[in-house]
């Protein structure tokens, strides 16, 4: 298939090109109906609103979402120990479910809702898969919903799926050859394993395999790995992001400039402590609402940090995008209201080959957070003043925060060190 065809088109053009205002109305209407529904049918949800002293009538639009408490995965798992199997979130008795999925930690859920499956279908299309493709799905089909849901999503787009499941690399390669498989679904690390194993068998993966498009999820996709995979196979590799409880929450289009939020999933980026939305461009926790009538998740907190991009994308989709996932909430440090994460500070340091090690130290002075980036140089002879100025600029750009810079000689930072150290005391 020509690459041109994979770059263009929409899974659902009407919804994908709504104006921000139209999208807000679309989601707002769905939300009001869904809150009413969940309040009537989900024991958990009724109790959660009762405890807050609110009723569905208090939710008049997206702006009222913050009144609804967040659902944390730990809480979901704990509730399932008390109300077996689904924790009171469900709206049906277990024997009415078509399937019961089992997630790690014995966390149960009934089958996916229509919107959740559709969100993955939109993602597969968005990343370049098209009817006519033969796609090998290498996720594990046992227990958890990931492989099944992607399988159903392939069917919705009209793509032929090959459910090989996980592992058995040799068999996977034989199948790819025999069926002239054009698409791959799985983790990026497994795709790399396929390449290495095939090469060891004397197979030229670019010439002897027909792969043109890969959809990776369930794992971070570092840019360097993407490039290597794309070059090796001569294919495009795009990623999707989501959770088993909410469906897909973001996918890359051809332009790979962030993760488009699917149409019928409500995604917020919030301050994890207050549950209130943060401004577009500010880092916060990804929170999602799934519109699944069997297992309503309203404001499921993912624990992942990202930020919203509101500018239009050249692909024509008007949805907001999540910048890539920046890390986990529990690994981040909040400085003057902004999260900083080792992932980001690594990226700052990586721009400076003259830096050998670094440590970010957060302290407090006159009731204000102070962030100091301590950079240990490889070589004493560098121009410290120049480096300091360039570093300050990079920190401002990358972390959206002003930070002090200290350049220290080789050997100053211990070998085993934490990248971000919080030395604040609160009195």
Residues at the contact surface with Zn ion, assessed by CB under 5 A = 253, 255, 313, 315, 317
Question: Whose Cβ is closer to Zn ion: residue 315's or residue 374's?
Answer: 315
Minimum distance, C-beta of residue 260 to Zn ion, in the bound complex (Å)? 6
Question: Whose Cβ is closer to Zn ion: residue 195's or residue 259's?
Answer: 259
Minimum distance, C-beta of residue 321 to Zn ion, in the bound complex (Å)? 7
CA distance 200 to 197: 5
User: ω before 85 within 30° of 0 (cis)?
Assistant: yes
How many other CB atoms sit within 10 Å of the CB of residue 198? 22
Minimum distance, C-beta of residue 238 to Zn ion, in the bound complex (Å)? 10
Minimum distance, C-beta of residue 248 to Zn ion, in the bound complex (Å)? 15
CA distance 252 to 260: 6
How many other CB atoms sit within 10 Å of the CB of residue 227? 11
Question: b/e for 257-270, b at 16 or more Cβ within 10 A?
Answer: bbbbbbbbbbbbbb
Return the structure tokens found at 148: 């099944």
Question: Whose Cβ is closer to Zn ion: residue 122's or residue 152's?
Answer: 122
Query: For the chain, what's the residue count?
Result: 427
CB of 35 closer than 8 Å to CB of 56: yes
Minimum distance, C-beta of residue 303 to Zn ion, in the bound complex (Å)? 26
Question: b/e for 44-56, b at 16 or more Cβ within 10 A?
Answer: bbbebbeeeebeb
CA distance 13 to 10: 5
How many other CB atoms sit within 10 Å of the CB of residue 250? 29
Question: Whose Cβ is closer to Zn ion: residue 263's or residue 344's?
Answer: 263
Question: Whose Cβ is closer to Zn ion: residue 8's or residue 393's?
Answer: 8
CB of 355 closer than 8 Å to CB of 406: no
CB of 289 closer than 8 Å to CB of 89: no
Largest alpha-carbon pair distance within the chain? 72
CB of 286 closer than 8 Å to CB of 261: no
Question: Whose Cβ is closer to Zn ion: residue 9's or residue 88's?
Answer: 9
DSSP 268: E
Minimum distance, C-beta of residue 271 to Zn ion, in the bound complex (Å)? 27
CA distance 113 to 119: 10
Question: Whose Cβ is closer to Zn ion: residue 94's or residue 314's?
Answer: 314
Minimum distance, C-beta of residue 123 to Zn ion, in the bound complex (Å)? 12
CA distance 224 to 220: 11
Minimum distance, C-beta of residue 128 to Zn ion, in the bound complex (Å)? 11
Minimum distance, C-beta of residue 253 to Zn ion, in the bound complex (Å)? 3
Question: Whose Cβ is closer to Zn ion: residue 255's or residue 276's?
Answer: 255
Question: Whose Cβ is closer to Zn ion: residue 255's or residue 396's?
Answer: 255
């Amino acid at each position: 298939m020509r690459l041109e065809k994979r770059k263009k088109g929409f899974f659902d053009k009407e919804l994908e090109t709504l104006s921000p205002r139209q999208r807000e109305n679309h989601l707002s209407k769905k939300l009001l109906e869904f809150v009413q529904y969940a309040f009537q049918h989900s024991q958990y949800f009724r109790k959660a609103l009762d405890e807050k002293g609110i009723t569905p009538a208090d939710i008049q639009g997206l702006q009222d979402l913050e009144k609804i408490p967040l659902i944390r995965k730990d809480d979901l798992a704990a509730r399932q120990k008390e109300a077996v199997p689904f924790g009171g979130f469900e709206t049906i008795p277990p024997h009415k479910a078509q399937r019961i999925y089992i997630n790690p930690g014995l966390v149960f859920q009934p089958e996916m809702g229509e919107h959740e499956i559709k969100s993955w279908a939109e993602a597969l299309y968005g990343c370049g898969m098209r009817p006519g493709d033969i796609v090998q799905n290498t996720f594990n089909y046992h227990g958890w919903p990931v492989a099944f849901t992607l399988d159903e999503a392939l069917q919705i787009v009209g793509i032929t799926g090959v459910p090989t499941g996980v592992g058995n690399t040799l068999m996977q390669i034989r199948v790819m050859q025999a069926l002239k498989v054009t698409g791959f679904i799985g983790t990026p690390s497994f795709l790399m394993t396929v390449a290495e194993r095939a090469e060891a068998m004397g197979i030229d993966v670019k010439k002897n395999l027909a792969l043109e498009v890969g959809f990776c999820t369930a794992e971070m996709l570092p840019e360097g790995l993407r490039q290597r995979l794309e070059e090796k196979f001569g294919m495009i590799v795009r990623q999707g992001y989501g959770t088993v409880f909410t469906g897909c929450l973001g996918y890359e289009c051809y332009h790979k400039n962030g993760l488009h939020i699917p149409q019928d999933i409500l995604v917020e980026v919030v301050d994890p402590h207050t549950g209130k939305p943060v401004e577009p461009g500010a880092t916060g926790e990804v929170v999602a609402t799934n519109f699944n009538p069997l297992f309503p998740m309203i404001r499921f907190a993912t624990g992942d940090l990202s930020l919203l991009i509101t500018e239009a994308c050249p692909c024509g989709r008007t949805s907001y995008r999540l910048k890539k996932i920046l890390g986990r909430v529990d690994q981040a440090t909040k400085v003057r209201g902004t999260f900083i994460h080792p992932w980001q500070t690594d990226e700052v340091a990586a721009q400076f080959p003259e830096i050998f090690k670094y440590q970010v130290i957060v302290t407090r002075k006159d009731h204000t957070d102070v962030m100091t980036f301590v950079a240990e140089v490889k070589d004493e002879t560098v121009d410290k003043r120049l480096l300091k100025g360039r570093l300050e600029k990079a920190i401002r750009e990358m972390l959206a925060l002003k930070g002090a810079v200290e350049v220290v000689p080789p050997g100053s930072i211990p070998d085993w060190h934490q990248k971000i150290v919080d030395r604040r005391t609160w009195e």
